[in-house]
Amino acid sequence: MAGNNPTPTEYIQHHLQNLTFGNHPEHGWSIAHSAEEATEMGFWAIHLDTLGWSIGLGLMFMLLFRKVAQSATTGIPGGVQNFVELMVEFVDNSVKDTFHGKSKLIAPLSLTIFCWVFLMNLMDLVPVDVLPTLAQKIGAMFGADPAHVYFKVVPTTDVNATLGMSLSVFALIIFYTIREKGVSGFIGELTLHPFNSPNKLVQALFVPVNFVLETVTLIAKPISLGLRLFGNLYAGELIFILIAMIGLWQLPLHFTWAVFHILVITLQAFIFMMLTIVYLAMAVEKH
């Protein structure tokens, strides 16, 4: 849909490019007109579509839940309240099953992760060309070249979004570890496992080995957490794009893949939530 009759490669690339706003070395603060410009902007750029959709969906979730929370009755719950209570109880049970420490943060954190990630994933089910085309039309109204209006609807197909969340979780893991076990406990966890010895000298030799191993383990947590979500959704989105290129026959295929994807997006949201709880439970529990 980019420009006039794009080649398949152009079409796919166009779909996988975020709407980037940043500080270009030559053009200053502006919206990137191509993937190259976006790359040249380096770190000081933001993806307007990712942030816009994720914050928009997050606000939607917050407003809906807040509205229900405000009018929550202890009597017979209505339709929306039923749904919200279902979600809350489901998350609460998941947290109680896994996380045995005391924390006011974990349960709301898990609820937010599950609902927010689910909503962001859900955008995957909107046919791939609908919103980008709409964005191009709106862009054209403001005088932009439609070929250069990039629009990626699903925030979780942006590695920035998933890593942004998983790194926040990582910060919480470190925070909880230090809060429960102290700085020495945290360092001890990094250096005294998995190899230890009663002999002080041998132990001293083990420390660097342990440190390397445990650091890798620690770093692997947020990276795998973020990349798992990103990879699943990115692959799913890519297949939607591929299906969208085959003409009329895309309809049954698209339908089939979308039905399958309902499972994937729910599962990925659940996995992200569960792993967050598990990691935080590991951080809090004593060995």
Partner 1 sequence: MNLNLTLIGQAIAFAFFVWFCMRFVWPPVMQALQERQKKIADGLDAASRASRDLELAEEQANETLRESKEQAAEILEQAHKRSNQMIDEAREQARQEGERMITQAKSEIEQEINRAKDELRSQVSRLAVVAAERILESAIDEKQHGKLVDKLAEEL
The residues that bridge with 29 in the sheet, in sequence order, are: 23
CA–CA dist 206, 55 (Å, integer) = 46
232 is a catalytic site residue: yes
- CB distance 230 to 157 below 8 Å: yes
Euclidean distance between CA atoms 71 and 74, whole angstroms: 10
Q: Is 241 a binder of partner 1 (CB under 8 A)? A: no
168 is catalytic: no
User: CB burial class (10 A; 0-12, 13-18, 19+) of residue 30?
Assistant: middle
**Measuring CA to CA, how many Å separate 225 from each of 36, 53, 93, 165, 229?**
28, 21, 22, 9, 7
Structural tokens at position 57: 């969906």
**Closer residue to partner 1 (CB): 131 or 227:** 227
Q: How far is the CB of 60 from partner 1 (least distance, A)?
A: 11
Give the integer Cα–Cα distance in Å for 34 and 150: 8
Is 99 among the residues that bind partner 1 (CB under 8 A)?
no
Q: Which of residues 199-228 bind partner 1 (CB under 8 A)?
A: none
What is the footprint of partner 1 within residues 148-207 (CB under 8 A)? 155, 158-161, 163-165, 167-168
Is residue 138 part of the contact set for partner 1 (CB under 8 A)? no
Shortest distance in whole angstroms from residue 287 CB to partner 1 = 28
Residues with a catalytic annotation lie at: 224, 228, 232
Interacting residues with partner 1 (CB under 8 A): 16, 18, 20, 22, 38-39, 41-47, 50-51, 54-55, 58, 61-62, 65-66, 68-70, 72-75, 77, 84-85, 88-89, 92, 104-105, 107-109, 111-112, 116, 155, 158-161, 163-165, 167-168
